A and B are shown apart, each in its own frame.
Chain A
């Protein structure tokens, strides 16, 4: 028990010596820092740290006449629900945080909500599940758009401008794959096209030639990749092109362009239409990417800016509410924010129709065309539609 004492002592000394009358506001980062979802979790934790640094450099967060130094405490949930519950308990009952950035996964967020909602802890999650947001979960928000928001506008745009009529798709044969297949079929139908060719395969499959042969023989003019992991999507692109398929390839959900290009190569991915949550040309987004690049060595994950905005939205809500302790007030102010200029662009809340509560961030997103392995923005979208 020696080390904690020294840490405690030095932090007391630092607090005593440095900023005397300042208070500390602690944000919890309950994210995945190891294993499969680590790239996303890192991006979220770093986003919170960058946002905290910025207010600290400006002299602290000014709420109700007091200045708060913002501190980020990060824990790893290993992308697992049980780990998430353990660290959520720690954050809520030991560290006494009132605000949590994370978790990354759907199962972890559903697992911690009984704790966070009951203790009025505001949660900013990435979890894609529709169940994360609902009327009886007033303290959970989602600062990133999910497949449910992005697929319909993008499909409408693709059908309208690219003349796609008959689409084929391959899905993993599990709950996720079956669900996405249904959603996409409905979305294409609504857009005036058809998804008549659906193939399901077991997740460890690597040879898609037989499935693709049958699919291509039915005369499709586009292949949809949504619902497949980045590596699998790359394999499908590669093998479809090897079979001489020259039609369109689209991915209307899940940013994975870099991985797909890594697997399939630049030639096979040329002209592919993909969903992307960020426009690197947008000045505010570019400013954030530069900040990120200056502080962290690795490349930024596409979800990171959303959580930088999420943290800043929290700060703004606290300023407006005039308190950091009464999360009921902060939550009410957070809901009221609209037209907020964030790194992603102009932000507000949406989701009433889909989730029963306006806790889903309404942020712009984009359809990009892959040119020489890089994304080139072709359409700018909101939940309303793409242009």
Chain B
């Protein structure tokens, strides 16, 4: 075997997958930051996003970009509405709120099962063929998805860093009470934060729909990855999530190159456990105040 080729290939694969994990984790950690609550329905928003993109592209014949944008807007509105309608009573009661999100996840998944059926659907690929980066081979479809994902993350960064509501949202993530004293209205930012999280999950689902298949059960695995990323990076920390997602992608890729498949999966969880024991607040987390 050509080890330099395999190592380059594994690095490229790892970075791509890491980016996809990041997209999934960033919404998850944002919701946690704002609401101090783990959103177990995050995976189901991913699933709904995948279905949204599937129907808009295969059914309504829209271009992929437009489909992703509409899916995001829909999930943002839907997520905000759900927060306002379902999770509002749990705003100061995080533990019960988490149970409510588990219920929400079950309801969403079973609704999808009722309306879309259990059979996996396939979306046409965004692009055909492979692109060669030096020695490494990358499916062109994945490259497109990477570009879209980077664009989404750049937009999110711009929004959080420079726009008024973005800065307000960051203030809420930093410290809810101080933010409230500064005149930031939390009744607006709870639904916005949750909706943004749901929207990001839906975008992740929409972007990954052409790479993987679309079915009511696709949300479980990405939720687990988001969980791992967020634990490694520190709950609520977006830069932490970025570092952890890339690290997870690379470790997974190298591990499955060098070890048997199951051993690689075990290794990931061994790392998570070591992290929880040695540095419970995560790579860049601030710990719980």
Which A residues lie at the B interface, using CB under 8 A? Answer: 36, 173, 199-202, 204-207, 209-211, 213-214, 217-218, 230-231, 234-235, 238-239, 242-244, 259, 262-265, 267
Contacts and interface: CB of A to CB of B under 8 A. Distances in A.
A319 to B, nearest CB: 41
Interface string B124-145: 1100111000000101011000
B262 A259 contact: no
The secondary structure that dominates the A interface is: helix
Most chain A Cβ neighbours within 10 Å, of B13, B120, B260, B265: B120
B9 interface: yes
Interface of B: 1-2, 5-6, 9-10, 13-14, 17, 118-122, 124-125, 128-130, 137, 139, 141-142, 211-213, 215, 218, 220-221, 252-253, 256-257, 260-262, 265
A242 B141 contact: yes
B120 A259 contact: yes
A238 B122 contact: yes
Given A200-B260, A243-B137, 11 more contacts: A204-B220, A205-B261, A206-B218, A209-B13, A213-B6, A213-B257, A214-B256, A214-B257, A235-B213, A263-B120, A264-B122
A217 B1 contact: yes
B261 A242 contact: no
Nearest to B128: A267
Given A242-B141, A243-B130, A259-B119, A200 B257 contact: no
A231 to B, nearest CB: 4
B227 to A, nearest CB: 14
Contacts of B253: 210
B124 A211 contact: no
Contact of B213 (A36, A201, A263): A263
B139 A243 contact: yes
Contact of A173 (B13, B119, B211, B261): B261
Nearest to B261: A201
Most chain B Cβ neighbours within 10 Å, of A173, A209, A230, A263: A209
Contacts of A234: 120, 122, 213
A262 B256 contact: no
B10 A262 contact: no
B212 A214 contact: no
A210 B257 contact: yes
A218 B2 CA distance: 9
28 contacts: A199-B260, A199-B261, A201-B262, A202-B261, A204-B221, A207-B212, A209-B139, A210-B13, A210-B257, A213-B13, A214-B256, A214-B257, A217-B2, A217-B5, A234-B122, A234-B213, A242-B125, A242-B142, A243-B137, A244-B137, A244-B139, A262-B119, A262-B120, A263-B121, A263-B213, A264-B122, A265-B122, A267-B128
